[in-house]
Amino acid sequence: MPVDLALINGNIITVDRRDRIAEAVGVGSGKILKVGRNAEIRSLIDSKTKVIDLLGKTVTPGMIDVHNHFAMSGINEVFVFNLRYPKVKSIRELLKIVREEAEKTAAGRWVQGRGWDEALFEERRYVNRWDLDPVSPKNPVVLTHTSGHYIAVNSLALRLAGISKGTPEPRGGTIEKDPKTGEPTGILKEEPAMNIVRKVVPPWSVEETERGIARAQELVLTEGITAVKDPGVDNVSLEAYRNLRRRGELRLRAYLLYKVDTASQTEDAVNSLKVGGDDTLVLGGLKMFLDGSGMGRTAWMYRDWNKNFRERDVGNKGYPVVDPDEFKRMVKIAHKAGFQIGAHAIGDRAIDFTLEAYEEALKESPRRSSRHTIIHSNAPTPRELERMKRLGDNLAIETQSPFLYFIGDSYAGNFGPSRSRQMIPLRSYIERGITVGNSADWFVCPFPPKFGIWAAIERRTWKETYGPHPFGRRESVTVRDALRTYTALAARCLFMEDKVGTIETGKYADLAVWSDDLYSVPTRRIRDLSIEMTIVGGKIEHVNPSATVQA
């Protein structure tokens, strides 16, 4: 049977169980028909076959990002200005951008930015309302931190939200106040607090969300990403995804988790939503939060947080952002209904509690291969790793090796010397046979998987504030294992291991053509590699203008 598409003269990294290397791939009806030698694939070529001469370039399975706020990150790209380092290195530079945005925005309309990180500022402190007020006197301002777990707002935004000196903190959130005057500083941490402001910010429409998703697709396809797991969609973004799919404009695979915050919302979701879909768009389950952020020192820990690496943040062990008993009820409702659960848990105490909730749910309603996930699972203890191992295929970890580099200076400073060495323990996960998928948590970190692969090996921080290796090297992995966390292992987090994640006969032809061989280039060069071509379901969705492959 002739093939529709043939890729020949390549270095095909299959990522199959034997990690075989082939020369060529033949594709028909969007799926892989043959993987092997050039001669084998050439025998399947006819006059209608599109032939791509790879000229020795490397092909891997398409990259799978298992935790990517895809719709919202696309919206940020289209409608929200960027404050990420190194574009913004100081509060002074941030304020210049805010002033420029405010001057071109009509009075009374919101000015929104995203991506600032105090750990990378020259001033090494939060931006506050007293900084923002002089540059935005006529516009409410909300600037979302790169972590997504706290915001900085100006005085006008505080007034519109009704936040004053006497406003009590909501459970599971922080309204930072000046220790001397008691006045709110404009920093609000975690959703219960941030939502007080967000409820007065005009929401994004379905049409705007569609534009965001479309833009996100354009961007990630340039980096070889062919599938994403978008955690925390709502009714608006769910409708936007479905509209794009119906019109044939969804160009990659999207697996969605619907966000719930309470047991009653969980009940409503399992009664009104139907899990499932096709191989392009799937509603797979529910997203829920247990704790906060490693950057804001709000994640739920057993021991006090550190600050500046060796100092103790005395008395601060973080906190759960939802009542723990409520969280267990949410887990049990979703599990019993057959939904996959994605639970955000960063601190070691939160990880422990999530494992306990999953174990209790499984005991009450036994299931196999539920693959409930712990999202982030940044610093599990050895005891927790063994609990994870015992859960087998009822558990998967969705982690982010890019954290080690892009926000590693903040993480190392907050977790301290001993906990940092067990940060994002990819080797321990893999050695124990724990399914672990990788991701950028875009917009927290830049999305290209090459950064995550490199960071999983090197475990370096961006500015090396506490030395180049505050996380140690014990948990470093090989390039082969790092690649698997974005391919074969990541596919398991989406229940798609029989369809994508490796280059094998019968699977979808989701492929990434790289500028060089990940297996042979020096590690330092991996983060500089480019994607020459991205193929989804046998369709060429991206070609790098400077690509050397010949089609």
Structurally, the chain folds into a number of domains equal to 3
Token pair in block for residue 393: 């295929």
Domain assignment present for 193:
yes
Domain identity same for 53 and 122? no
Cα–Cα distances in angstroms (integers) from residue 57 to residues 43, 54, 63, 545, in the given order: 21, 5, 17, 16
- Global pTM? 0.97
Domain assignment present for 217:
no
Domain identity same for 412 and 476? yes
Domain that holds residue 395: 261-493
Domain assignment present for 228:
no
Domain identity same for 322 and 426? yes
- The tens place of each residue's pLDDT in the chain, 551 residues long, gives 899 999 999 999 999 999 999 999 999 999 999 999 999 999 999 999 999 999 999 999 999 999 999 999 999 999 999 999 999 999 999 999 999 999 999 999 999 999 999 999 999 999 999 999 999 999 999 999 999 999 999 999 999 999 999 999 999 999 999 999 999 999 999 999 999 999 999 999 999 999 999 999 999 999 999 999 999 999 999 999 999 999 999 999 999 999 999 999 999 999 999 999 999 999 999 999 999 999 999 999 999 999 999 999 999 999 999 999 999 999 999 999 999 999 999 999 999 999 999 999 999 999 999 999 999 999 999 999 999 999 999 999 999 999 999 999 999 999 999 999 999 999 999 999 999 999 999 999 999 999 999 999 999 999 999 999 999 999 999 999 999 999 999 999 999 999 999 999 999 999 999 999 999 999 999 999 999 999 999 999 999 999 988 77
Please report which helix (H) or strand (E) contains residue 536, including its range. Answer: strand 531-536
Q: How far apart are CA 250 and CA 348, in angstroms?
A: 37
Token pair in block for residue 225: 């990403």
- Can you list the positions of beta strands (E) in 190-275? 225-233, 253-259
Domain assignment present for 499:
no
Q: How far apart are CA 175 and CA 188, in angstroms?
A: 5
Do 106 and 114 touch, CB atoms closer than 8 A? no
Domain identity same for 429 and 462? yes
Cα–Cα distances in angstroms (integers) from residue 185 to residues 133, 137, 153, 198, in the given order: 11, 16, 8, 17
What is the CB-side half-sphere exposure of residue 62 using CA atoms within 13 A? 35
Kindly give the residue spans of alpha helices, DSSP state H, lying in 258-341: 263-272, 324-336
Residue 254 CA, chain-centre distance (Å), reads 13
Domain assignment present for 211:
no
**Count of CB atoms situated within 10 Å of the CB of 486:** 30
Domain assignment present for 227:
no
Do 373 and 490 touch, CB atoms closer than 8 A? no
Q: What is the separation, in whole angstroms, between the first and last Cα of the chain?
A: 21
Domain identity same for 440 and 348? yes
Domain boundary among 149, 183, 198: 198
pLDDT, residue 551, reads 72
Domain assignment present for 212:
no
Domain identity same for 43 and 87? no
pLDDT, residue 222, reads 98
Q: What is the 3-state secondary structure (H, E, C) of 94-149?
A: HHHHHHHHHHCCCCCCCEEEEEECHHHCCCCCCCCHHHHHHHCCCCCEEEEECCCC
Domain identity same for 518 and 467? no
CATH number for the domain including 43? 2.30.40.10
Q: How far apart are CA 233 and CA 497, in angstroms?
A: 23
Domain identity same for 270 and 379? yes
Do 499 and 508 touch, CB atoms closer than 8 A? yes
Domain assignment present for 214:
no
DSSP state of 393: G
Please report which helix (H) or strand (E) contains residue 532, including its range. Answer: strand 531-536
Q: What SS3 class is residue 61?
A: strand
Domain identity same for 44 and 87? no
Domain identity same for 169 and 304? no
Q: What are residue 540's DSSP bridge partners?
A: 535
CATH number for the domain including 448? 3.20.20.140
Domain identity same for 291 and 148? no
Domain identity same for 55 and 131? no
